[in-house]
Amino acid sequence: MAGMRFRLLGRSGLRVSELALGTMTFGTEVRWGADRAACGRMFKAYVDAGGNFIDTANVYTKGTSERIIGDLVKGDRDRFVIATKYTLMLREGDPNAGGNHRKNLRASLRGSLERLGTDHVDLLWVHAYDGMTPIEEVVRALDDVVREGLVHYVGVSDAPAWVAARAITMAERMGWAQYTALQLRYSLIDRTAERELLPMARALDLAVTPWAVLGAGMLTGKYAEGARRRGRGRLEIEPSRAKGVITDRNATIVREVRSVATELGATPSQVALAWARTRPGNIIPILGVRTLAQARDDLGCLDVRLSAEQEARLDAASSIEPGFPNSFLASDLVTHLTFGGTRDRIDAPRDRA
């Protein structure tokens, strides 16, 4: 297996491995979780491959994920870049037990530090935009915990592009800690982040840590058997295998992924991860695994190199409409009117199209 390389976390100087280890499965409090022994084996496989970037959250397996991570890094804490999240609640019935506001940030971070057994986290994510807390409150509260040394860097997850961009602009103007990274859903199955979020990340020099890179398991190829066509243009998994449905579009993508995998002597999962790793920008996929076999398989993507022709086939099978305003601005008419018919004669280093 190829050795893990490292990337800068966005505009910071922090070095993180090119694959992050997701730990939403660390703990048996959820039906898809793994016990501590299995978590230890997955963690070791990742570390042996050169990984140092661990992604968790205060709510993962009701806090057990953080406890397991704390135990696993004990004695070698500074070797690892530990990222956790706040926003989602651990306690029902309390309106302040969740959200982006300062009170929940403080309470959540305090709990995370205790469970992780550390005095700081390297990266704190705003887990999800709550649509209610003023952006200036969030940015200032994050700056406070950075200044106190409780957090080294901050990032934003699952938020509209305008929210992240406004927060970064505000922090930049006020001299507060700025987001260095963006977490979002992205895969061959779901490329909608390419419309606004990924262009924003490239423009603002944010690292991107996509989750569900295997399309909720569809890109592993494991749903190909037992799928049957039902209704108009829809593939549905047999009830005994049901974890979702596969549309005709998704079935086409899965077939292309399997075809490329066969050509390369790789697995479909490795092809899907290799595609994500080579997308434009600073993309650091999160591995979502629950067994040692899955961890080893996913880490094998480090050895997979897609040809230009294979990338083009995967792109064609999974392409999406750019949507407004992207398709409108890229149209021949608008381009002609904007540049007076000289667009092809202008060398524009800042052009991010």
Q: State the residue range of the domain holding 178.
A: 6-220+266-307
Contact 1, 51 (CB under 8 A): no
Instruction: Tell me whether the omega of the peptide bond preceding residue 322 falls within 30 degrees of 0, making it cis.
Output: no
Q: How many CA atoms lie within 13 A of 246 on its CB side?
A: 29
Instruction: Tell me whether the omega of the peptide bond preceding residue 268 falls within 30 degrees of 0, making it cis.
Output: no
Residue (of 133, 23, 28) closest to 87 by Cα position? 133
Convert 215-230 to b/e letters by CB count within 10 Å (16 or more is b): bbebbbbebeeebeee
Q: Note the helical H segments in the chain.
A: 36-48, 64-73, 102-116, 135-147, 161-174, 197-203, 248-264, 268-277, 292-299, 308-318, 326-329, 332-339
Contact 15, 26 (CB under 8 A): no
Asked if residue 284 belongs to a domain, the reply is yes
Count of the separate structural domains present in the chain: 1
- pLDDT at position 353, please? 47
Asked if residue 241 belongs to a domain, the reply is no
Contact 70, 112 (CB under 8 A): no
Asked if residue 18 belongs to a domain, the reply is yes
- pLDDT at position 38, please? 98
Q: Could you tell me the mean pLDDT of each successive run of 10 residues in the chain, 353 residues long?
A: 90 98 96 96 98 98 98 97 96 95 98 98 98 98 98 98 98 98 98 98 98 94 53 34 67 97 98 96 97 97 97 97 93 93 83 53
The one catalytic residue in 60, 153, 179, 223 is: 60
Read off the pTM: 0.91
CA-CA distance, 333 to 241, in Å (whole number)? 49
Angle at which helices 292-299 and 268-277 pack, to 10 degrees? 50
Q: β-strand 6-8 against 15-17: which pairing, if any?
A: antiparallel
Asked if residue 225 belongs to a domain, the reply is no
Asked if residue 275 belongs to a domain, the reply is yes
Q: For the chain, what's the residue count? A: 353
- pLDDT at position 275, please? 98
Asked if residue 251 belongs to a domain, the reply is no
For 52, other C-beta atoms within 10 Å of its C-beta total 18
- pLDDT at position 56, please? 98
> What's 209's DSSP letter?
E
Contact 98, 132 (CB under 8 A): no
Sequence letter at residue 295: A
Asked if residue 147 belongs to a domain, the reply is yes
- pLDDT at position 227, please? 47
Q: In the annotation, is 60 catalytic?
A: yes
Contact 302, 51 (CB under 8 A): no
CA-CA distance, 269 to 3, in Å (whole number)? 19
Asked if residue 227 belongs to a domain, the reply is no
Contact 57, 121 (CB under 8 A): no
Contact 80, 54 (CB under 8 A): yes
- pLDDT at position 239, please? 34
Residue (of 66, 45, 3) closest to 289 by Cα position? 45
Q: Interior CA angle at 26 toward 22 and 30, to 5°?
A: 115
- pLDDT at position 349, please? 65
Host H or E run for residue 315? helix 308-318
* CATH number reported for the structural domain that contains residue 163 in this entry: 3.20.20.100
Contact 146, 179 (CB under 8 A): no
CA-CA distance, 164 to 264, in Å (whole number)? 38
Sequence letter at residue 346: I
- pLDDT at position 226, please? 45
Contact 99, 131 (CB under 8 A): no
Contact 276, 210 (CB under 8 A): yes
CA-CA distance, 153 to 114, in Å (whole number)? 19
